[in-house]
Structures are given as structure tokens and as C-alpha cells.
Amino acid sequence: MSQLSVSRLSVRYGPVKALRDVSLEIPKGQITALVGPSGCGKSTLLHTLNRLTDLVDGCEVRGSVRLDDDLEITEATTDVLALRRHIGMVFQKPNPFPHSIRRNFEIPLREHGVSRANIPGIIERCLRDVGLWDEVSTRLDRSALQLSGGQQQRLCIARALALDPEVILFDEPCSALDPLASAVVEDHIAALRGRVTVVIVTHNLAQARRIADRLAVFWVRDGAGTIVETGPAANLFTDPTDPDAARYLSGERG
């Protein structure tokens, strides 16, 4: 069953066409990786899934994105605050709030009406989920900015998990980290399989090969980004049909 169905989606930033006529099924509980060269609209697609496109002046979205075959995400009347609770996001650069580790959880949890009594339990569960609990349990009241880059990124994943989302979007979550920290973060993303639907943009094809169930290859065609090939990751890596996608996946270009 599809968690998210994107159909005939086009996005433009003023005169710049970022995406044209994109359709994509994102299955529940699986890891879908979006790959392709720079500027072909991968981040733009992620931002339409949780309506972060609303923050950009002049950004115009057409087409349909449905959550659980039920909620039309692109509809103006959609409650975006509730939507973003269901669809979390982790960015390329770790972006914890410059407050204590505890405040990083309290602010979003309180905003979504979780009672104070439940918060410590949620913090512990989510920090354990990303393997951070043993490292930080004694310094929850210290600043999140004192953590290393890899720890900050895992904190951001834990913070996203705290809201119990069905989907988490990852925009190049490892590209600002050193190889060891990157491997740790990747393992924790892979461990979400089955529990959370994951959509991940990555420039690291080896990473996509390791963790993705499904793959979508983006390319710029006629001045706008679009998906040139999509399917189970294993098939695409061994037997791509689109020539650009084939060259890109075999590492000849990009």
C-alpha cells in the first residue's frame, strides 16, 4: 500500500521550473531513495511532501500528493501544522535548536499537546532509538550545540521521531558528516525500516544501494527536473532502462 502518492506534480519558483509532471508511489514502511545530479528537484519534491514549500515566496505547486490515499497534501486548506507532525524531516546540516537537549524535545512536544509528565519517557525512548541515550543521558540540560556533528544529526532524528511521525524525510542527512559518523547515522536510518516510511535524498550511490528498497532517479529534461526511472532499488542498479539513469547509476556521470 502506498503511504504517499505523488501524481502529475509540477513545482516552480517564480519563473524557474523545478519539477515537471512527477509521479511517484512511496510504499509504507519502506526506504525510498531519491538520487540524481544537483539542481534536478530532489529537495523540492521533499519540501512539497511536508509543505515546506509554503515558506518560499513565489513557489507554486500543481498536481496532487496524497497521504494514505486520504489527505490531499497540496490542498490550501490542509492543516500544515498537523501534517508536519505526521511527516517529519531531517536536514542536510544538523539543526538542533541552540538550547539544551531536553528543550529540543520539549518545544515541539509541548506544541503538539503532549503533557509534561509523558515527555521524559519519550525523550529516553527516542534517544535510545538513535543510540544516543548512553552518551547524553547525564547531560540532557547541556546545550545541544556541544554535541559532535554526528551526535547532533542523531539528535535531530530523535527529535523528529518524538512526534511519532508516519513518514520521515531525509535531505542528504550524512553529507555534512565524517565517514564514521555518517555510517552510524545511516545504520539508524536503515533501522527505521518497517516502523516508519523513509524518503531519503542522497548523493552517495553506495549508500542508496545499501539501504534503499526503492529508487527514483531524477534528471533535468527540457529545463525542469523530473523522474526518469523508478522501481525496486535492486532492479535499477542491475538493469536500468533509461540511458541517463544507467550512466548515472554506473558512476560514469554526475
Partner 1 sequence: MLNPLAAAPRRARRLDRAIAIAGGAASFSTLAVFGWIVWDLIRLGLPNLSWHFLTGEVETAGRSGGIGPVLVSTLLILLCCLAVAVPLGIGCAVWLSEFVRRGSRASRIVTGGVDLLASVPSIVFGLFGMTFFCQVLGLGFSILSGGLTLACMILPILVRTTLLALEGLPADLRPGAAALGLTRTTTLRQVLLPTALPGILVAITLGVGRALSETAALLFTSGYSTRWPDSLGESGRALSVHIYDLAMNIPNGSPNASASALVLLVLILLINLTATGLTERWTRHLSGTTS
Distance CA 44, CA 46 (A): 5
Give the SS3 label for residue 4.
strand
Only segment of 13-21, 107-115, 181-189, 192-200 that touches ligand ATP (CB under 6 A): 13-21
Contacts with ligand ATP by CB under 6 A: the residue count is 12
Q: In sequence order, which ranges of the chain are alpha helices (DSSP H)?
A: 42-49, 80-86, 101-111, 119-129, 133-136, 149-162, 179-190, 205-211, 233-238, 243-249
At 23, phi and psi to the nearest 5?
A: -125, 140
C-beta closer to Mg ion: residue 32 or 43: 43
Residue nearest Mg ion, Cβ-based: 43
55-94 binders of ligand ATP (CB under 6 A)? 56
Q: How many C-beta atoms surround the C-beta of residue 53 within 10 A? A: 19
Only segment of 26-34, 43-51, 174-182, 213-221 that touches Mg ion (CB under 5 A): 43-51
C-beta closer to ligand ATP: residue 56 or 234: 56
The binder of ligand ATP chosen from 9, 10, 22, 42 (CB under 6 A) = 42
Q: Which does 234 bind (CB under 5 to 8 A by kind): Mg ion, ligand ATP, partner 1, none?
A: none
Q: Which residues contact 44 (CB under 8 A, 6 or more apart)?
A: 11, 18, 19, 53, 225
* Contacting positions for partner 1 (CB under 8 A): 50, 52, 54-55, 57, 80-85, 88-89, 91, 93, 95, 97-100, 103, 107-108, 111-112, 139, 141-143, 145-146, 156, 159-160, 163
